């Protein structure tokens, strides 16, 4: 009988000792869910471009700035020789200037076949540039892309500001000062 009481007391003590730890773990888990919900709530209404990017789903850990005034899309792929030649210069520009400029967000618009190939491509350059697959993102004023590497710049409303051959993206500071182009009636290629 003494052993039974002693065993029950021991079980009760162990239960009391571990309960606060389990509750703390549960609180941590639930608070992280709440924080994620609040983070989205704090961002408020997304611009049309930020919303399209979010809906497309990023293949990178980093996402585009939701409050950027300009979105610079560099159209590129791992299988494209000229793209691979241009990317070191683009990444250098991104790391030196674009990351610091809160009004601009550069996004790799990947023309690879799947997220995994595109992710490996961007990881090769050791950058945290955000990226989405071209075939997944729907942008209303997306220009027709004749080949890659290519780039285009949209303002937050989704108006086309600039478009051109890939290397011209390095002049992005001058390009974002241009007035948006009038939307064309042509359907864009996706």
**Residue 25: pLDDT above 90?**
no
For 12, counting Cβ atoms within 10 Å of its Cβ (0-12 exposed, 13-18 middle, 19+ buried), the class is exposed
pLDDT class of 48 with cuts at 50, 70, 90: confident
Taking each continuous run of H as one helix and of E as one strand, the counts in the chain are: 5, 5
Residue 51: its H or E element:
helix 48-56
Supply the pLDDT for residue 98.
84
**The pLDDT of residue 34:** 37
Q: Residues 134, 140, 142, 143: is their CA dihedral positive or negative?
A: positive
Domain boundaries, the chain: 1-44, 48-175
The percentage of the chain sitting over the pLDDT mark of 70, rounded to a whole number, equals 72
- DSSP readout, 3-49? HHHHHHHHHHHHHHHHHHHHHHHHHHHHHHHHHHHHHHHHH-SPPHH
- Residue 154: other Cβ atoms inside 10 A: 27
pLDDT tens digits, 126-135? 999 999 998 9
pLDDT of residue 154: 93
Q: Which of 56, 54, 34 is nearest to 45 (CA)?
A: 54
Determine the topology of domain 48-175 in CATH.
Answer: Glutaredoxin (3.40.30)
Q: What is the pTM of this model?
A: 0.71
Contact 143, 165 (CB under 8 A): no
Please check whether residue 173 is in contact with residue 70, taking contact to mean a CB–CB distance below 8 angstroms.
no
Q: From CA 15, how far away is CA 115, in angstroms rounded?
A: 47
- Once rounded to an integer, what is the mean pLDDT over residues 71-96? 94
Strand (E) or helix (H) holding 101: none
């Amino acid at each position: 009988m003494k052993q039974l009481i002693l065993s029950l007391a021991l079980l009760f003590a162990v239960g009391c000792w571990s309960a606060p730890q389990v509750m703390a773990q549960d609180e941590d888990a639930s608070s992280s869910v709440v924080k994620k919900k609040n983070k989205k709530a704090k961002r408020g209404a997304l611009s049309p471009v930020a919303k399209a990017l979010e809906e497309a789903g990023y293949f990178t850990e980093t996402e585009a700035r939701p409050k950027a005034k300009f979105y610079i899309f560099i159209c590129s792929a791992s299988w494209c020789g000229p793209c691979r030649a241009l990317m070191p210069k683009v990444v250098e520009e991104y790391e030196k200037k674009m990351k610091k400029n809160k009004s601009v967000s550069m996004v790799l618009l990947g023309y690879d076949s799947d997220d995994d190939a595109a992710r490996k491509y961007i990881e090769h350059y050791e950058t945290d540039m955000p990226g989405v697959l071209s075939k997944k993102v729907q942008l209303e004023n997306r220009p027709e892309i004749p080949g890659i590497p290519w780039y285009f710049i949209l303002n937050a409303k989704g108006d086309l500001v600039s478009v051109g051959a890939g290397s011209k993206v390095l002049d992005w500071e001058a390009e974002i000062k241009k007035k948006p182009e009038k939307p064309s009636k042509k359907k864009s290629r996706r």
